[in-house]
Chain A
Amino acid sequence: MSFVWAAVGAFAVLLVAELLQLRRLRRQALAAAGGKP
């Protein structure tokens, strides 16, 4: 079962990493559109 949890853990890490990337991209885009450097 440890292999299964390793795969599920990798999946969870991927989901969290993508959420963080999307949030950073959104903040950068809003700042750029709002005229901030």
Chain B
Amino acid sequence: VPQSLALQAPSARLRWGRYASPPAFYALAGRLLPWLWTAAALLLAAGLGLGLFIAPADHQQGEAYRILFVHVPAAWIAMVAYAAMAFWAALGLVLNTRLSFLMMRALAPTGTAYAALCLLSGALWGRPTWGTWWVWDARLTSMLLLLFLYLGFLALTSALDDPRRGDRAGAVLALVGVVNLPVLYFSVQWWNTLHQGASISLRGASIAPVMLWGLLLSSAGCWAWAAAAVLSRARSLVLQRERRAEWVRQLPEVAEAAR
């Protein structure tokens, strides 16, 4: 046991160490999933209901601004999922923990989907408000680059037959691509872009309260959905990777599938 770990309080070691083991993670994620899916359904229904049917039209953009309730959560999740992927990649490379690489892999498809949704909903918003589907603006281009990084990650990790080599190659790509995140986030401040600046910051929001609540609820719903999807995917990846382990064979769902 390394000195730093031995010096920690036993309770702290137990708490953090326990869920790095695949069987404990599999069980915990399985317990969380029904709550996350239910929260996602309720929050999305409330947020989109408020945003699409109750919030008034915008005085400048009319009805088109309602794309915000899909576009903004998608952009947040695409960015944060990539940061989380890079975090697990770094942890996997440094500590060589099995679960870290699986979490990294589980995040990628969800991040890809939300990056694509962000670009698509942005184009649908740009057409009625800017008069164009697309411009090679710093914010839009860096989001397109993020989508390509996700696609590159998926292609690279699935191209290598040896899963351990795929893990390491994917982790390196995820870490290299992380330089795009500050560019993406600060692009609206660093350059004079067509894309508007942030409407919500730690100092407050510049949109009406009913719109803000719609946005916060739909974002929370998307977050719950993304968390559920990632945990569900990670559980399947754990099952595949650990299929020869005794604890997997003893799972009732595996015994049933074997019958």
Residue ranges of A at the interface with B (Cβ–Cβ < 8 Å): 1, 3-4, 6-8, 10-11, 14-15, 17-18, 21-22, 25-26, 28-36
Contact = CB atoms under 8 A, between A and B. Distances in A.
A7 to B, nearest CB: 4
Given A3-B124, A18-B110, A34-B255, A28 B236 contact: yes
Contact of A4 (B63, B109, B117): B63
Nearest to A4: B66
B109 A18 contact: yes
B237 interface: yes
Interface string B66-105: 1100110010000000000000000000000000000000
A26 B116 CA distance: 24
B258 A34 contact: yes
Interface string B224-242: 0100010011011101101
Contacts of B255: 34
B64 interface: yes
**Residue with the highest number of chain B CB atoms closer than 10 Å, among A3, A11, A18, A31:** A11
A17 to B, nearest CB: 7
Interface string B118-135: 001100110110000000
Interface residues of B, number: 42
Contact of B117 (A10, A26, A30): A10
A21 to B, nearest CB: 7
A3 B116 CA distance: 16
A33 B120 contact: no
A4 B120 contact: no
B48 interface: yes
Contact of B254 (A3, A4, A22, A33): A33
Nearest to A6: B124
Contact of B128 (A3, A26, A30): A3
A3 B257 CA distance: 44
Given A4-B66, A7-B125, A26-B232, A33 B117 contact: no
12 contacts: A3-B67, A4-B124, A10-B124, A14-B117, A15-B225, A18-B109, A22-B233, A22-B236, A26-B232, A34-B257, A35-B258, A36-B258
Contacts of B236: 22, 25-26, 28-29
B45 to A, nearest CB: 12
